[in-house]
């Protein structure tokens, strides 16, 4: 679906992307993670034909991104960026109707798309009166109208409360199940962990790590067993045969409150790999 090799983008004297390479296969939900200013939006802009790269190759649907500017290709993908706009004086419905007409989809899709972002009852509301999170959901609904094969989302849930984030996450998972490939950027490691089949860590314009979240967590897992005892003590023992006897003793003496392994979060791994906080 997406193939990116040695992508570089230079703005004047500022280099936003140094050497970005990755692949996204059909059916994946690919998470592009990185702190502010790391080049996530720049990458999306290049991949969607809004900006030209300085060097390197970027192919989407097997063709160079410079060839994507035709109505036929544009019908195959959808984009929500952080600075997408809606027509404030029009209603939610009229905003979506414009896009339904532009994409040539049935008007029935408007209701379905609004339902999937939990806005089914707000059709007639003027966009100017919406909160930031609602606006973001309308934008998402707008890109779902034509059921794109490939969906680019630039921080889709950054303005949403947990309940609505969860709703959107479920919607995205369903969409992915139906075959849409999703490329999403986020700061939110839990979101990435929850949704993505692959994640790439972007730092200062370089992809520093790329793998499945599960693999990453396994690889960076600390080989430690934690034990919380009923008397309040907390112990950390190495995950080795030599610990077995000690642990068995605590259990047989009924001293144990809880036993756990130490799973790193993607955020922890990011800090370890890049030496930077993901803010």
Partner 1 sequence: MTFSVKRFMAIFQKDLKDLYRNLYVSSTALMPLVFAVIYSRVGEVPLAMYLFVITLSLALVGTFLQCAIIAEEKEKNTLRGLMLSPATLTEILAGKSAVTIVITIIVTAVSMFIMGFSFDGRGWLIAGILLSLIFFIALGTWMGLITRSVLEASVYILPVMFIFGMANMFIGLADQFSFLQVLEYTPGIQLEEIANLGESGAGFDELWKPFAIIGAWVAATLVLAAVTFKKRMMD
Which residues of this protein are in contact with partner 1, per CB under 8 A? 48-50, 70-72, 74-75, 79, 81, 83-90, 94, 98-99, 101-104, 142
Least distance (Å) between residue 82 CB and Mg ion: 6
Q: Quick one: what does residue 84 bind among ligand ATP, Mg ion, partner 1, none, with the CB cut-off 5 to 8 Å set by partner type?
A: partner 1
Considering the complex, state which of residue 41 and residue 180 has its C-beta at the smaller distance from Mg ion. 41
Q: Which of residues 37-56 bind ligand ATP (CB under 6 A)?
A: 37-42
C-beta of residue 114 within 8 angstroms of C-beta of residue 96: yes
Considering the complex, state which of residue 98 and residue 271 has its C-beta at the smaller distance from partner 1. 98
Least distance (Å) between residue 185 CB and Mg ion: 7
Q: Quick one: what does residue 107 bind among partner 1, ligand ATP, Mg ion, none, with the CB cut-off 5 to 8 Å set by partner type?
A: none
Residue in 2, 20, 34, 122 binding ligand ATP, rule: CB under 6 A: 34
Considering the complex, state which of residue 51 and residue 256 has its C-beta at the smaller distance from partner 1. 51
**Site for ligand ATP contains 277 (CB under 6 A):** no
Least distance (Å) between residue 151 CB and partner 1: 12
What 3 state SS string does the chain have?
CEEEEEEEEEECCEEEEEEEEEEECCCCEEEEECCCCCCHHHHHHHHCCCCCCCEEEEEECCEEHHHCCCHHHHCCEEEECCCCCCCCCCEHHHHHHHHHHHHCCCCHHHHHHHHHCCCHHHCCCEHHHCCHHHHHHHHHHHHHCCCCCEEEEECCCCCCCHHHHHHHHHHHHHHHHCCCEEEEEECCHHHHHHHCCEEEEEECCEEEEEECHHHHHHHCCCCEEEEEECCCCEEEEECCHHHHHHHHHHHHCCCEEEEEECCCCHHHHHHHHHCCCCC
Least distance (Å) between residue 50 CB and Mg ion: 13
Q: Which of residues 17-46 bind Mg ion (CB under 5 A)?
A: 41
**Site for ligand ATP contains 11 (CB under 6 A):** yes
Least distance (Å) between residue 147 CB and ligand ATP: 26
Binding site for ligand ATP (CB under 6 A): 11, 14, 16, 34, 36-42
């Amino acid at each position: 679906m997406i193939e990116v090799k040695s992508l570089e983008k230079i703005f004047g004297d500022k280099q936003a992307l140094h050497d970005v390479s990755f692949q996204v296969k059909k059916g994946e939900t690919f998470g592009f993670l990185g702190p502010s200013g790391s080049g996530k939006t720049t990458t999306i802009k290049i991949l969607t034909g809004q900006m030209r790269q300085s060097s390197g190759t970027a192919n989407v649907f097997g063709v160079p991104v410079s060839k994507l500017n035709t109505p036929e290709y544009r019908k195959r993908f959808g984009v929500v960026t952080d600075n997408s706009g809606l027509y404030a004086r029009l209603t939610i419905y009229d905003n979506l109707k414009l896009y339904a007409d532009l994409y040539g989809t049935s008007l029935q899709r408007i209701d379905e798309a609004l339902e999937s972002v939990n806005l089914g009852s707000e059709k007639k509301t003027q966009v100017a009166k919406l909160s930031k999170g609602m606006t973001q959901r309308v934008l998402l609904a707008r890109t779902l109208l034509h059921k794109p094969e490939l969906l680019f989302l630039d921080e889709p849930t950054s303005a949403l409360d947990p309940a609505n984030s969860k709703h959107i996450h479920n919607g995205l998972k369903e969409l992915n199940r139906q075959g849409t490939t999703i490329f999403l950027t986020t700061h939110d490691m839990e979101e990435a962990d929850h949704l993505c089949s692959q994640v790439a860590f972007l730092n200062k314009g370089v992809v520093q790590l790329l793998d499945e979240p599960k693999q990453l967590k396994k690889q960076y897992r600390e080989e430690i067993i934690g034990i919380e005892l009923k008397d309040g003590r907390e112990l950390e023992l190495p995950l080795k045969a030599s610990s077995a006897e000690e642990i068995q003793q605590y259990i047989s003496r009924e001293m144990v409150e809880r036993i756990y392994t130490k799973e790193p979060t993607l955020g922890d791994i990011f800090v370890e790999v890049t030496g930077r906080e993901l803010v």
